[in-house]
Amino acid sequence: MAYIYLSGDLSLFTKGENKFEILAPNIKKVFERLSDIHPELKPHLDQGIAVAIDGKVYQDAWLESLGPETEVHIFHGIGGG
């Protein structure tokens, strides 16, 4: 199981829940499973989301592999310029 943490206001769309244990091979499947559990979260996962997998930040991590003890932090994408 990967350990999934939602940061910021994303837990507003999960009835306050911000920690999940999800069995998934990659981030795409994590997002699909989170969307199945909390459909109101789906539009937010589809836009401007970044993830940190075991401490490394990714902007486009759809196919990054997840191990059984992986920690994934999901947060709004960071913009700048």
Kind of pairing between the strands at 19-22 and 49-53: unpaired
CATH 3.40.50.300 fits 2-76, yes or no: no
Per-residue pLDDT at 8: 82
Cβ atoms of residues 24 and 31 within 8 Å = no
- Average pLDDT on 36-60 reads 90
Where do the DSSP E strands lie in the chain?
2-6, 19-22, 49-53, 56-58, 71-76
3-state secondary structure of 73: strand
Q: Answer yes or no: is pLDDT of 33 > 60.
A: yes
Q: pTM score, two decimals?
A: 0.88
